[in-house]
A and B are shown apart, each in its own frame.
Chain A
Amino acid sequence: MLEIKNLSFTKTGKEILKGLSLNIPKNRVTLLLGKSGSGKTTLLRCIAQLETQYHGEISYQGRPINQLSPKERSQIIGFISQSFSLFPHKNILDNCALALRVLFGTEKKEAYAEVKKILRLLDIEKLALSLPSQLSGGQQQRAAIARALVLNPSFLLFDEPTSALDPENTELFTEVIRNLLKAGTGVIIASHDMKLASKLLDVAYFLEEGLFAESYDAQIGVPLPSGGKINQFLSVF
């Protein structure tokens, strides 16, 4: 469980997050929904420690995330940006093996074998020797997921994962997410894609101006309020 307590974040004088508190479970999809500028990406970036000047606490199993070493943190939280940000000078195999080799000193052969297993699971094994620029958007995304999965993080964070994908790849992405859940990884997605949200709806928070306007948990069994923010958001689709 990832615990967030009273999280506030201000940038250039503007208060973007206003004292948010939430618990994010493993094995489930947590959707951060809302319009552009509502604070969902900032919340994701704070969890990933890409923004560190926040107030409040983000902790995993009682340990504040910002006190962990980079190596420890990378095994708890994996982050996949909107543009996937693969390293353009390395092929997919080297992109994915880099962290294993640098952080854990894994031998090249061993690291490659580990990476190939994950590439096979994501059905991109034959692209192992390709450069990122030779891949389509969907393939790049799967390569970025593979790169994060190599470290076996407890949570995978996605920022607007489908903004660069066509409908077919969006469908493939939802399948990949379901497989991640089966493997026990917690998934946190910041998105304004209604189609994706409706497919993966499990735990959801609707953000408005840095505050939660509404939250939803499918396991509680209470249906979405018909006039509520999340329902309105989904019904646009």
Chain B
Amino acid sequence: MDANSYLSLLSRSLPLLLQGVVMTVQILISSASLSLLLGLLFGIASCNRLRIPFLSQAIEFLTFVLRAIPFFVQLLLVYFVFPDLLGFSLEPFPASVIALGLCSSGYVAQMVRGGLNAIPAAQWESAFALGLNTPQSLKHIILPQMGRNILPMLNNELDALLKSTSIVSSIGMLELTRMGMNIVSREMQPVAIYLTVAFFYICMSALLNLIARALEKRFLYVRN
């Protein structure tokens, strides 16, 4: 394929591919928000210092199950099996967000748990000695330090989540990969289209990395 025909193919495909990028970003932001929220709650409830009898064990088991089942299987369960068992229907978008968010929350919970366990006991004790209760200590002292420490790992997880969005194409989500597949079936130019799709994923991943680096820099401090 010469440069002119590639440019012509690109001009025909770009609007559709960009629509795919927008959908991918929407799925990523929604599922990452769900994952961070659930992961934070699960991680806090299962860290060594805040263990709640039975609830902590139940949450640890749940996060283990979420990590043990492949994401594709979780997607099929959320989209086909549970709606069928419980008698309701779920659109592909919420099903994708729920499946991605749940699956990822299992990993985020582990990061949060590890991050909280790594905060020195003296930090909790200092907050307690100043009269702060547990929620106040978490909000002002513990979570900011934990967040800074797990930022690089969270960035990895968001990267993995971005790549997992391509799997939701299997239930008909018109995200970037599905758009690419549709264009390939029409244009019969897999090399050019899939390379362009790959380029868009690299750009999104680079953007995530840039944001993560900027955040790390913003919250930089040296532990004493």
Contact = CB atoms under 8 A, between A and B. Distances in A.
Contact of A88 (B127, B140, B224): B224
Interface string B4-48: 000000000000000000000000000000000000000000000
Contacts of A73: 131
A70 B221 contact: no
Interface string A75-113: 101110101111111000000001100110000000000
Contacts of B123: 85, 87
Contacts of A154: none
A41 interface: no
B128 A85 contact: no
27 contacts: A49-B128, A74-B131, A78-B129, A79-B129, A81-B122, A81-B125, A81-B126, A83-B120, A85-B123, A86-B224, A87-B127, A87-B141, A88-B145, A88-B221, A88-B222, A88-B223, A89-B144, A89-B145, A98-B140, A99-B130, A99-B132, A102-B136, A102-B140, A103-B130, A132-B224, A133-B224, A135-B224
Contacts of A84: 224
A145 interface: no
B131 A85 contact: no
Interface of A: 48-50, 70-71, 73-75, 77-79, 81, 83-89, 98-99, 102-103, 131-133, 135, 140, 147-148, 151
B68 to A, nearest CB: 34
Contacts, number: 74
Given A74-B129, A89-B145, A98-B140, 5 more contacts: A70-B131, A70-B132, A103-B132, A133-B221, A148-B129
B125 A74 contact: no
**Chain B residues touching A, majority SS:** helix
A87 B140 CA distance: 10
Interface string B103-142: 0000000000000000010110111111111001000110
Contacts of A86: 126, 224
Interface of B: 120, 122-123, 125-133, 136, 140-141, 144-145, 148, 219, 221-224
A48 B130 CA distance: 10
With most chain A CB atoms within 10 A of its CB, the pick from B126, B131, B148 is B131
Contacts of B144: 89
Nearest to B142: A87
A96 B122 CA distance: 16
Contacts of B148: 89
Contacts of B129: 48, 50, 74, 77-79, 148
B122 to A, nearest CB: 4
B148 to A, nearest CB: 7
A133 B140 CA distance: 18
8 A-B pairs with least C-beta separation: A74-B131, A133-B222, A79-B129, A85-B122, A85-B126, A99-B130, A70-B131, A133-B224
A85 B142 CA distance: 12
Given A88-B145, A89-B144, A89-B145, A151 B130 contact: yes
Contacts of A75: 131
B222 A131 contact: yes
Nearest to A101: B140
B128 A50 contact: yes
Contacts of A88: 145, 221-224
A79 B221 contact: no
B224 A102 contact: no
A71 B223 CA distance: 28
Nearest to B130: A99
Given A81-B122, A88-B145, A89-B145, A133 B130 contact: no
